[in-house]
Structure 1
Amino acid sequence: MTQNLFDNIHIANKSYQELLDLFNINIQDDCDYYPIIAYHLLKNNEQNIIDNFENFNDVQKVAIIDAFGFFDNISNNAQDFLLSFLDSKNNNFTFSAILSLKNKENYYSDLIEKFLYSDDVMIKNSAIQYFAKKKGLLFKDELRKLLNDKNEFIREVALDELDDLDDEDLINDALYCLNDNSESVKDLANYIVNRLKQS
């Protein structure tokens, strides 16, 4: 749906006001629409969007935070903007900010480490992804511990991140998870085991 929509509106050629008008349209059931519009708004109007952030609704705000994650490099001001959401009362803002920071050059482990122990599953998930990206194989022991987390989604995230790391012990991790009581975790483990056996 999204690709066809953006092909039709020629988004890259829109002015700031035209993009803003598109950003204010109410679109249902399309999780990509707002972040992509936000990305194009930020490309040449980063400071203006930051300065007017409070004028947007929560869906638009999350999209703006998400869109910063699409850039390889962002200004120090933009990074400070994202860091401000680590203390937000809105968990959606915190979740998106952590994910947007994970691909950036600067390392904020001291600020994000506490979220590995969050009671909010999605925030904990984002922190796991952050450290898996930043630390790579140095984070594998922590990921293995998370295979025993009380939450099945976190266990699945941990196994998925171990799969991405492609460590030599991955087969043992996957075999261990075949005994998990979650069907989604077992399905992922079974997929990994079968793939590794065929390689």
Structure 2
Amino acid sequence: MLDTINIFGKTFEELWGLFLCEVADDDDFYDVLAYNLAKADRQRFEGELQSLSGKRLRAAICGLGMAVSPDNGTSDLVFRYVGDSDPFVVAAAIDALKRIGSVDWPKIEPTLRHPSAYVRGAALRFARARLGACSLPILVEHLRDGDPIVRENALDELDGIATPQEVPLVAFYLEDPSAEVRQAARTLLDSVAL
């Protein structure tokens, strides 16, 4: 879809009009537009957040996370959405805050117990980004999560910090019922072996 729409040189109003169009099953469409809207006029775009919901709100938060720097106050606005009722919005807020880099781990840590696997996965990505190698015990703990999305995220985030000591633990997930978890375990074991 994005290959057929030229957004270069469009005004904020033109981008906003495209953002409000209904496009089925193409989150990238909304993400790219949100990024460009945030770049075009961040303050105006932030003012529109309250009028959005669902996939557009998720995309707007994602776009803000990609487009802004840590020192412009956007993190406070985005942090409010960590308490949203839509788990996809919460996960987008956590991922945006990870990119912005101005929120500390203790504010995000409670989301590790969120009922949504998408939110728990985002919290693991945040932990890895903010805590580095110190996130190892958190990631290992969440390998036992009941949802394959979280196990896959934990394995992915262990890349670069797992040591040969974790190999037996990771090898267990080569037999996981989820193909995605098995692939993540294989990829991690290959990278630890290098």
In 2: Cα distance, 1:92 partner to 1:153 partner: 13
In 2: Cα distance, 1:145 partner to 1:102 partner: 21
TM-score (norm 1): 0.85
How far does the alpha carbon of each residue in 1:43-62 deviate from its partner, in whole angstroms, 9 at most, with x for none?
Answer: 13111122222233432211
Partner of 2:17: 21
How far does the alpha carbon of each residue in 1:83-140 deviate from its partner, in whole angstroms, 9 at most, with x for none?
Answer: 1112222222211100100122323222111001112111111111100111111111
Give the alignment partner of residue 33 of structure 2, picking from 28, 37, 59: 37
In 2: Cα distance, 1:98 partner to 1:122 partner: 10
Q: How does 1:48-127 map to 2 (within 5 A)?
A: 48-71=44-67, 73-127=69-123
The one-letter amino acid of 2:176's match is D
8 A Cα contact 1:163 1:170, kept in partner? no
How far does the alpha carbon of each residue in 1:140-188 deviate from its partner, in whole angstroms, 9 at most, with x for none?
Answer: 1121121222222211211111124354445334323224343432233
**1:190 matches 2:186:** yes
Distance of aligned partners of 1:167 and 1:196 in 2 relative to their CA distance in 1, 3 Å threshold: closer
Q: CA deviation at 1:71?
A: 2.7
Distance of aligned partners of 1:177 and 1:33 in 2 relative to their CA distance in 1, 3 Å threshold: same
Aligned alpha-carbon RMSD (Å): 2.2
The one-letter amino acid of 1:83's match is F
Bigger mean CA deviation after superposition, 49-58 or 134-143: 49-58
In 2: Cα distance, 1:160 partner to 1:76 partner: 30
Give the alignment partner of residue 149 of structure 2, picking from 141, 146, 153: 153
The one-letter amino acid of 2:107's match is L
- Mark the runs of 5 or more structure 1 residues left unpaired by the alignment: none
- Mark the runs of 5 or more structure 2 residues left unpaired by the alignment: none
8 A Cα contact 2:118 2:149, kept in partner? no
Structure number with greater Rg is 1
In 2: Cα distance, 1:75 partner to 1:88 partner: 23
The one-letter amino acid of 2:149's match is F
TM-score (norm 2): 0.87
8 A Cα contact 2:62 2:92, kept in partner? yes
The size of the alignment, in residue pairs, is: 194
Q: Percent identity?
A: 24
